[in-house]
């Protein structure tokens, strides 16, 4: 259970962070955008924001509560008895209960504020309770267990999380305002002014996120060898890459706002920016997942004997002859450790099988990327059937991704689903089937022009998110890290493909070329990472 509990804890932590963003970001959005624009904007905008804050805080309470249950559940003894007494004496339990309790208080105060949404005093009182909620999170991060500079690191981590919440939560509230504005002319007409105010808030929040993030990275990573040689360092780099994607999109928002300010030209603000903000929010959600996965790893400074060298990391991604012949099945299964053994280290035959699986999957993904490219930029009509190649990949994953398990291995289908990597492989298979069938019906069938056309970018995004929380072992071992290097790279590329495909669908057709190039190229790169994968 310990592996599954670890995987679920990262997911629950990420949802808790998203809830915190909805709450703290919503309050900042009210002060920086909505209250100053009370004239042009109807009071219903403030009421909606208060509802969003309540929803965010309730999410924190719920998922923080779920995290508190995970720990004693994963430590249950053979009889299934949970060590609740000893657990409730731990600092983590106290801090978690306080955090969940304060979240309930914020949710209650926000619901009450919905009755008088225009009250600045009401929002100030809510902000004070929310400040306590954000502060209480400082007892749930690495800093609380550091021997040196504990208070300083707790403060920096808390400022980092607050700035992240203001930016990500602000994006969510901005999109909600836009969504509700489609039927409300007052909101629609105030949109450029809303964007201009939010742009200032977001700029300050991102500046603070980066400054505090670099300070944390300095203390918890400390050097290039640790940055490229540990899972913690690699997750920091993953966050920087995702932040880079978000900032490319955010820069366009700023330009549109400046054009409106200078010449009153609101065309870009109305026709382009809402969709860029959607994509920016997508990148921000992936960032929160990466942040939760980051803090589930031991800080890089503490991982000294299991670091990979730069050459080893480069070797993982470097071109090499793919392994397209599987190992002998019998001896491989006989030598293979159980899928649910959290401390298992794979043998040479296991690694050979895993290389074969990833390399063959790489060929299929690469072919699909080339065909998708041809479908977009050539007159080759047959190329529009490229999603069907993913059905081939799904069949391959179902039959061979778990060689120890059903259908050809000795382990039962359900018996090993408590292993996160088995669970994620099976989920990935379902995801690939859904992606193949839906996208094919959009490109070659009757679903073109329907909402189903958004399934492809969303499924890519979910796949990328799954990979960013992927962990192969509870041990901070060099082997496990080198495996994660490829999975992180594929996770980031899948997020880039999701954003590109989303923007190609949402932006005016003449602006779809660059997004289309981004997603087809990202898919091709995923194929190459898989093709050259080696454990």
Binding site for ligand HEM (CB under 6 A): 13, 17, 141-143, 157, 160-161, 164, 168, 209-210, 213-214, 216-217, 220, 236, 239-240, 243, 284, 287-288, 291-292, 294-295, 299
Q: Give just the sign of the alpha carbon dihedral 433, 370, 531, 498.
A: negative
Residue with tokens 């002014």: 193
- Nearest approach, Cβ of 10 to ligand HEM (angstroms)? 9
Q: Which is nearer to ligand HEM, 193 or 241 (CB)?
A: 241
- Nearest approach, Cβ of 98 to ligand HEM (angstroms)? 15
Measured at the CA of 309, the angle between CA 153 and CA 3, to 5 degrees, comes to 60
Q: Which is nearer to ligand HEM, 295 or 477 (CB)?
A: 295
Structure-token pair, residue 351: 């690694």
Q: Which is nearer to ligand HEM, 110 or 291 (CB)?
A: 291
Structure-token pair, residue 284: 């921000």
- Residue 407: cis peptide before it, omega within 30 degrees of 0: yes
- Nearest approach, Cβ of 219 to ligand HEM (angstroms)? 8
H helices of 224-309, in order, are 224-229, 231-263, 267-271, 273-295
- Nearest approach, Cβ of 156 to ligand HEM (angstroms)? 9
Q: Per-residue DSSP letters for 150-185?
A: HHHHHHHHHHHHHHHHHHHHHHHHHHHHHHHHTT-H
Q: Which is nearer to ligand HEM, 77 or 148 (CB)?
A: 148
- Nearest approach, Cβ of 392 to ligand HEM (angstroms)? 36
Residue with tokens 């293979």: 336
- Nearest approach, Cβ of 524 to ligand HEM (angstroms)? 27
Residue with tokens 């969940």: 100
Query: Are residues 2 and 279 in contact, defined by beta-carbon separation less than 8 angstroms?
Result: no
Spatial separation of the C-alpha atoms in residues 174 and 198, rounded to whole Å: 8
- Nearest approach, Cβ of 239 to ligand HEM (angstroms)? 5
- Nearest approach, Cβ of 152 to ligand HEM (angstroms)? 13
Q: Per-residue DSSP letters for 46-86?
A: HHHHHHHHHHHHHHHHHHHHHHHHHHHHHT--TT----HHH
Q: Which is nearer to ligand HEM, 25 or 346 (CB)?
A: 25
Q: Which is nearer to ligand HEM, 68 or 422 (CB)?
A: 68
Question: In 3-state terms, what secondary structure has residue 491?
Answer: helix
Minimal CA–CA distance to 49: which of 37, 61, 64? Answer: 37
Q: Which is nearer to ligand HEM, 174 or 294 (CB)?
A: 294
Question: In 3-state terms, what secondary structure has residue 411?
Answer: strand
- Nearest approach, Cβ of 491 to ligand HEM (angstroms)? 16
Measured at the CA of 349, the angle between CA 343 and CA 352, to 5 degrees, comes to 105
Q: Interhelix angle for 231-263 vs 185-220, to 10°? A: 150
- Nearest approach, Cβ of 22 to ligand HEM (angstroms)? 13
DSSP bridge partners of 411: 405
Structure-token pair, residue 460: 């890519």
Query: Are residues 356 and 401 in contact, defined by beta-carbon separation less than 8 angstroms?
Result: no
- Nearest approach, Cβ of 62 to ligand HEM (angstroms)? 17
Q: Which is nearer to ligand HEM, 218 or 377 (CB)?
A: 218
DSSP bridge partners of 405: 411
Q: Which is nearer to ligand HEM, 238 or 429 (CB)?
A: 238
Instruction: Write the burial class of residue 245 (CB in 10 Å: 0-12 exposed, 13-18 middle, 19+ buried).
Output: buried
Q: Which is nearer to ligand HEM, 232 or 352 (CB)?
A: 232
- Residue 507: cis peptide before it, omega within 30 degrees of 0: no
Taken as a whole, the chain contains a residue count of 535
Structure-token pair, residue 208: 């603070």
Q: Which is nearer to ligand HEM, 245 or 361 (CB)?
A: 245
């Amino acid at each position: 259970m310990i592996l599954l509990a670890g995987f679920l804890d990262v997911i629950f932590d990420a949802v808790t962070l998203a809830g915190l963003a909805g709450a703290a970001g919503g309050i900042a959005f009210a002060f920086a955008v909505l209250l100053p624009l009370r004239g042009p904007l109807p009071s219903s905008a403030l009421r909606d924001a208060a509802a969003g804050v309540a929803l965010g805080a309730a999410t924190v309470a719920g998922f923080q509560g779920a995290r508190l249950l995970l720990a004693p559940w994963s430590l249950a003894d053979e009889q299934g008895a949970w060590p609740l007494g000893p657990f409730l004496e731990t600092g983590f339990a106290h801090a978690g209960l306080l955090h969940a309790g304060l979240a309930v208080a914020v949710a209650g105060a926000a619901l009450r504020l919905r009755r008088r949404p225009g009250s600045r005093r009401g929002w100030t009182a809510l902000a004070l309770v929310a400040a306590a909620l954000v502060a209480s999170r400082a007892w749930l991060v690495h800093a609380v267990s550091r021997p040196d500079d504990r208070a300083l690191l707790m403060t920096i981590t808390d400022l980092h999380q607050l700035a992240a919440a203001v930016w990500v939560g602000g994006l969510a509230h901005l999109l909600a305002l836009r969504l509700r504005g489609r039927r409300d002319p007052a909101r629609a007409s105030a949109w450029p002014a809303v964007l201009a105010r939010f742009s200032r808030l977001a700029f300050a929040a991102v500046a603070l996120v980066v400054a505090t993030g670099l300070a944390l990275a300095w203390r918890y990573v400390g050097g290039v060898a640790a940055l490229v040689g540990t899972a913690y360092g690699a997750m920091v780099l993953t966050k920087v890459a995702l932040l880079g994607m978000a900032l490319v999109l955010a820069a366009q928002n700023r330009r549109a706002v400046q054009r409106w300010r200078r010449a009153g030209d609101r065309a870009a603000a109305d026709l382009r920016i809402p969709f860029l903000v959607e994509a920016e929010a997508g990148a921000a959600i992936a960032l929160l997942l990466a942040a939760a996965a980051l803090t589930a790893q031991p800080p890089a400074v503490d991982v000294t004997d299991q670091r990979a060298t730069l050459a080893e990391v480069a070797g993982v991604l470097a071109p090499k002859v793919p392994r397209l012949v599987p190992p002998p099945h019998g001896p491989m299964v006989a030598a293979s450790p159980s899928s649910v053994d959290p401390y298992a280290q794979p043998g040479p035959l296991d690694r050979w099988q895993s290389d074969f699986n990833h390399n063959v999957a790489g060929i299929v993904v690469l072919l699909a990327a080339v065909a998708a490219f041809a479908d977009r930029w050539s007159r080759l009509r047959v190329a529009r059937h490229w999603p069907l190649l993913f059905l081939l990949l799904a069949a391959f994953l179902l039959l061979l991704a778990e060689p120890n398990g059903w259908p050809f291995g000795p382990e039962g289908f359900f018996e090993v689903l408590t292993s996160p990597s088995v669970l994620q492989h099976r989920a990935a298979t379902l995801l690939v089937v859904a992606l193949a069938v839906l996208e094919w019906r959009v490109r070659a069938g009757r679903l073109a022009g329907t909402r189903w056309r958004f399934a492809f970018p969303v499924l890519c995004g979910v796949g990328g998110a799954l990979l960013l929380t992927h962990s192969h072992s509870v041990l901070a071992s060099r082997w496990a890290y080198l495996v994660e290097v490829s999975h992180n790279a594929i996770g980031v590329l899948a997020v880039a493909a999701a954003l590109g495909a989303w923007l190609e669908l949402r932006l005016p057709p003449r602006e779809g070329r660059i997004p289309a190039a981004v997603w087809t190229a990202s898919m091709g790169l995923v194929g190459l990472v898989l093709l050259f994968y080696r454990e």
